[in-house]
């Protein structure tokens, strides 16, 4: 894997982690809101 390919994969993975974090945040805070 060359440096450009590596950067591309890094960005894709980072986006995936970022959206997982957002999803987790949304779920946790909606659940917290529902729990009072």
The residues of the shown chain that bind other proteins, judged by CB under 8 A, are 1, 6, 9-18, 21-22, 24-26, 28-29, 32-33, 36
CB of 2 closer than 8 Å to CB of 10: no
Rg (C-alpha) for the chain, rounded Å, is 15
Least Å from the CB of residue 4 to other proteins: 13
Least Å from the CB of residue 25 to other proteins: 5
């Amino acid at each position: 894997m060359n440096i450009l390919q590596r950067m591309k994969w890094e960005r894709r993975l980072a986006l995936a982690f970022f959206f997982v974090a957002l999803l987790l945040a949304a779920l946790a805070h909606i659940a917290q809101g529902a729990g009072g």
